[in-house]
Structure 1
Amino acid sequence: MSSEKETVALGSILASGAMTVGKFGVGLSTGSLGLLSEGLHSLLDLGATVMTWFAVRVSDKPADAEHPYGHGKIESVAALAETGLLFLTSGWIAYEAIRRLIDGGVEVEATWWSVAVVVVCIAVDAYRARELARVAKDTRSQALEADALHFSSDILSSAVVLVGLGLVWLGYPKGDALAAIGVSVFVCHAGYQLGRRTIDTLIDAAPAGTAERVEAVVRDLPGIAGVQRVRVRPAGSVLFVDLDLLVGRTLSLDAAAALREQAIQAVRTEMPEAEVSVATHPLALDDETVMDRVVVRAAGLGLAVHHVTVQRVNGRLAVGFDLEVDGSLPIEAAHALSSRLEASIRDELGTDIEVESHIEPLQDSGLTGVDAEPKLLGAIAAHLSASLPVTGPLRDVHNLRVRRSAAGLVVTFHSHVAPGTTVVAVHDAIDTLERDLRSRWPDIVRVIGHSEPDHDDGQAVDKPRGGRATDAA
């Protein structure tokens, strides 16, 4: 892509140089102000195309520490310089034309070869404008787009020169000066269009309708609750898009990250030139449950809660939960954390609610252990098997593991239950086993019971021995 941009820009330099020589040569030999003004116009175009060539070479350099948004705006700077040259050109042409109209005294000769030069220039301008516009569209190059605008305006201004030469040939010598004024009008118009677009880019004005297009792409994506803000800024061939999206505050970090990636891909599909940055902001949704809101408030304070219970007692909302804190904390520090969370929940749900918390030590995730001796493992296995008749839905105990840690014994086992058994029934059965085990072995600090349903044919579904167990205690 970069090579194509440089090639077409180099072709414009050669074309502008050839037309400059041709127009000046014919203008000086015939005395036509229209042709001389066109020659000056082409000379300035030559300088502009040289700037464009350098600009497209620099603009495609990758971003670096000093230019985190890349080098794309160098094209805008080059285009702004071209705009200044266009206005200087039109000013000189208009001044000289008005002077000739007032003073006269300049004889203009309309020859067939002067007309031929203008016709050839129109053909070259048309070809270059088409090529530049094509590559500018494909590469989103503002500098090449400015060059295409130059050559397009040259077609119109050359056509006006032809009209002026025709008027001279018909016996109206002032037609050449009038044609020159027409050229200056076209040049001013081209300069105005280019300058307005270039200045918009340099001041980070969003292209018309772009923000609306971006919003339309992302606002209906599943999981997006709303679009808070869209910011768009062009820089050369790249369009930088900053999106602030609203998502449900109960989403996990992974889910929010997936939504961000989905939004980025959706915008890039619609606008391949876009570099997209997405930020997600939590929003309280109407379908949140009381439990959701309690968990969100706890997470906001960096606290872990479980066993959240929500009741309505005599029309009054009552919320209870287990709060896990560092087991080494003094009770007054733990109570302060609990009070802080309870106050936050009242802010969320209303001051007239009842909030109760049960403080328990947070499980140490850094415990190290070793397998218990076979004799202890056998004793616990026998005890569990003997206890099965009083545990209700548990049909067996298998994959039993007992580990010793600095804190005490950790017991893990699997069991089978009948399909359709409720989670509450399974949980209560494992709780019964846990209490029974702890009454027999007081140094047990953790019991993890994982249950899985039997197949209809009676064959049990089991997980590999090293599989992750679900805490049902």
Structure 2
Amino acid sequence: MTSPATTAAETRRDAERRKERVALVSIFVSVALTAAKGVAGVATGSLALLTDAANSLLDVAATTMTWLAVRTAHKPADEEHQYGHGKFESLSALVETAFLFLLSGVVAVEGLRRLATGRTEIEPSWFAVGVLVAAILLDGWRWWTLRRVAKETNSEALAADALHFSSDLVNSVFVLAAFGAAALGYPQADALIAIGVSFFIAFAGFRLARRTIDALLDRAPRGLAERVTAIAEGVAGVVGVDRVRVRPVGARVLGEINLKVSRTLPLDRVAAIKERAGGALAAALPEAEFTITTTPVQLDDETILERVMLIAARQRVPVHHVTVQNLERRLSVSFDVEVDSRLSLGTAHEVASRIEAAIQEELGPQVEVESHIEPLVVPHLEGREADAALVSRIAGTLAEATRDDRGLSGVHSVRVRKTPAGLVVNYHCRADPALDVASVHDMVDALDRRVRALHPEIARIVGHAEPQR
């Protein structure tokens, strides 16, 4: 089964190939249009057409820069660029913006100079008209293709190119209009239209500059943080979202999200919640990459038992038999704390006192906290199987002890091992499945005590109760 992360990576690689291909095709088209417009502009003397040719020459540089920027942006992260190279697209778009402003200024100055000196004569030709019509069709196709791919791949560099070619399209239409006006006896329309086109180019450059600067300054895409929050809050186990930070990096979005989870959850459950949240975000936002962290929080519906067990887990000391009593004016909590049986009483008391203090700090000084110290069998004891005669004797004792017991019966799977600490006995027995756990536990404890009284060499006895069939 393909994971959301794998699918997102394949989609991203496909988008990268499409971006590079459309940028490369755009270079060749720009070269052809520049040559054709330049020849026609010189032949007619039209400032508007020469402006259009200069704009197309700029296109060659811009599209080449776009292609190089797109290829660079696709490089993986390295030691010097730990967030990848996506900002190269924004940098390319910013440089192209500067070119647009420079071109608009040059055209406006030349148009005003021609109007002031009266040199507005042009010589329209059908060749120039044919070049302009072809340029309009090609620029329209390039604008539509680049805009579509830029939108699908979220590419700033291609979006800049699409905006640039939309200005070329309008420019060529205006040059045709200037030719028409010149044919009707208004040659000054050429310079006026060239000035108007320069303002259009400047306006397009301003729009592009604002968007590019927002990307370079890590402005969050509108509404994305709210969408990320909604997706994360829908994941099972997420209590809330503490913080979301997103920023565009080329065609991708990098983000950080901090999830609130219950502090009583074990680490493996928290890891599973983070994995589910990451999968949900990857499925909904394949172009985004998130770093997910968690903050444990106390829930309003936490029980006293959960809070006590959490504190014990933090102290790395096992506790059981937690008893909570609601007295008239205070709360009382008692529990059994298991410590290494080889510890001295003084050391064991320090362990118990440390847990008592931590519980009292959590629940409040008015809460009564008491612990009962129990010996914990040393883990990883070296042992060996007892001989058959000893196993048979202990099994017989267990069977005899349950004969008169109405609750337990059917002792089986008796195992006896010899260890340096004494005998360790494991056995199974059966009980009425309708009985509650507390009652069965008391019966097993009573059976264990009777057997240990008859076999004092037993250091540990573990009884496993099964429901009667």
The alignment's TM-score, normalised by the length of structure 2, stands at 0.91
Task: Name the counterpart of 2:435.
Answer: 421
Q: Could you say if the C-alpha distance between residues 8 and 253 of structure 1 is closer, same or farther in structure 2, counting changes exceeding 3 Å?
A: same
* Correspondence for 1:217 among 231, 236, 239: 231
* Correspondence for 1:338 among 341, 352, 357: 352
Q: Could you say if the C-alpha distance between residues 101 and 305 of structure 1 is closer, same or farther in structure 2, counting changes exceeding 3 Å?
A: farther
Give runs of aligned pairs for residues 394-413 of structure 1, distance below 5 A. Answer: 394-413=408-427
* Alpha-carbon separation, structure 1, partners of 2:330 and 2:188: 96
* Correspondence for 2:163 among 149, 154, 164: 149
* Alpha-carbon separation, structure 2, partners of 1:325 and 1:83: 72
Bigger RCO of structures 1 and 2 (CA < 8 A, at least 6 apart): 2
2:61 aligned counterpart, secondary structure: helix
Unaligned runs of 5+ in 2: 1-13
8 Å CA contact retained: 1:392, 1:429: no
* Alpha-carbon separation, structure 2, partners of 1:181 and 1:283: 64
1:239 aligned counterpart, secondary structure: strand
* Alpha-carbon separation, structure 2, partners of 1:325 and 1:177: 95
* Alpha-carbon separation, structure 2, partners of 1:442 and 1:201: 78
Task: Name the counterpart of 2:8.
Answer: none
2:143 maps to a residue whose letter is A
Task: Name the counterpart of 2:271.
Answer: 257
Give runs of aligned pairs for residues 142-221 of structure 1, distance below 5 A. Answer: 142-221=156-235
Q: Could you say if the C-alpha distance between residues 443 and 351 of structure 1 is closer, same or farther in structure 2, counting changes exceeding 3 Å?
A: same
Alpha-carbon offset, residue 445 of structure 1: 2.7
| 1:48 partnered with 2:62 | yes
Q: Could you say if the C-alpha distance between residues 421 and 152 of structure 1 is closer, same or farther in structure 2, counting changes exceeding 3 Å?
A: same
| 1:108 partnered with 2:116 | no
The alignment's TM-score, normalised by the length of structure 1, stands at 0.90
Q: Deviations over 1:108-136 (max 9, x none)?
A: 22333322222211110111122222322
Give runs of aligned pairs for residues 188-337 of structure 1, distance below 5 A. Answer: 188-337=202-351
How many residues were matched structurally?
Answer: 455
Alpha-carbon offset, residue 335 of structure 1: 3.3
Alpha-carbon offset, residue 414 of structure 1: 1.4
* Alpha-carbon separation, structure 1, partners of 2:198 and 2:26: 22
Task: Name the counterpart of 1:470.
Answer: none
* Alpha-carbon separation, structure 2, partners of 1:289 and 1:258: 23
8 Å CA contact retained: 2:262, 2:297: yes
Q: Could you say if the C-alpha distance between residues 194 and 325 of structure 1 is closer, same or farther in structure 2, counting changes exceeding 3 Å?
A: farther
* Alpha-carbon separation, structure 1, partners of 2:176 and 2:329: 92
2:256 aligned counterpart, secondary structure: strand
* Alpha-carbon separation, structure 2, partners of 1:154 and 1:326: 83
2:186 aligned counterpart, secondary structure: coil
* Alpha-carbon separation, structure 2, partners of 1:363 and 1:190: 79
8 Å CA contact retained: 2:401, 2:451: no
* Alpha-carbon separation, structure 2, partners of 1:126 and 1:221: 45
1:365 aligned counterpart, secondary structure: coil
* Alpha-carbon separation, structure 1, partners of 2:376 and 2:163: 70
8 Å CA contact retained: 1:157, 1:182: no
Task: Name the counterpart of 1:90.
Answer: 104
* Alpha-carbon separation, structure 2, partners of 1:192 and 1:328: 79
* Alpha-carbon separation, structure 2, partners of 1:177 and 1:239: 44
2:207 maps to a residue whose letter is Q
Alpha-carbon offset, residue 103 of structure 1: 2.6
8 Å CA contact retained: 1:34, 1:161: yes
Unaligned runs of 5+ in 1: 456-473
8 Å CA contact retained: 2:377, 2:460: no
Q: Could you say if the C-alpha distance between residues 303 and 90 of structure 1 is closer, same or farther in structure 2, counting changes exceeding 3 Å?
A: farther
Task: Name the counterpart of 2:5.
Answer: none
Task: Name the counterpart of 2:6.
Answer: none
* Correspondence for 2:393 among 379, 399, 407: 379
2:71 maps to a residue whose letter is R
Q: Which moved more, 1:169-178 or 1:62-71?
A: 62-71
2:150 maps to a residue whose letter is A
Alpha-carbon offset, residue 289 of structure 1: 0.8
| 1:369 partnered with 2:372 | no
8 Å CA contact retained: 2:430, 2:468: yes
8 Å CA contact retained: 1:241, 1:276: yes
* Correspondence for 2:32 among 15, 18, 22: 18
2:223 maps to a residue whose letter is G
Q: Which moved more, 1:395-404 or 1:380-389?
A: 395-404
1:140 maps to a residue whose letter is N
* Alpha-carbon separation, structure 1, partners of 2:65 and 2:107: 23
* Alpha-carbon separation, structure 1, partners of 2:341 and 2:190: 96
Q: Deviations over 1:76-134 (max 9, x none)?
A: 22222212212211121122222222233242223333222222111101111222223
2:430 maps to a residue whose letter is H
1:306 maps to a residue whose letter is H
Q: Could you say if the C-alpha distance between residues 303 and 197 of structure 1 is closer, same or farther in structure 2, counting changes exceeding 3 Å?
A: farther
Q: Could you say if the C-alpha distance between residues 117 and 370 of structure 1 is closer, same or farther in structure 2, counting changes exceeding 3 Å?
A: same
Task: Name the counterpart of 1:118.
Answer: 132
Q: Which moved more, 1:18-27 or 1:128-137?
A: 128-137
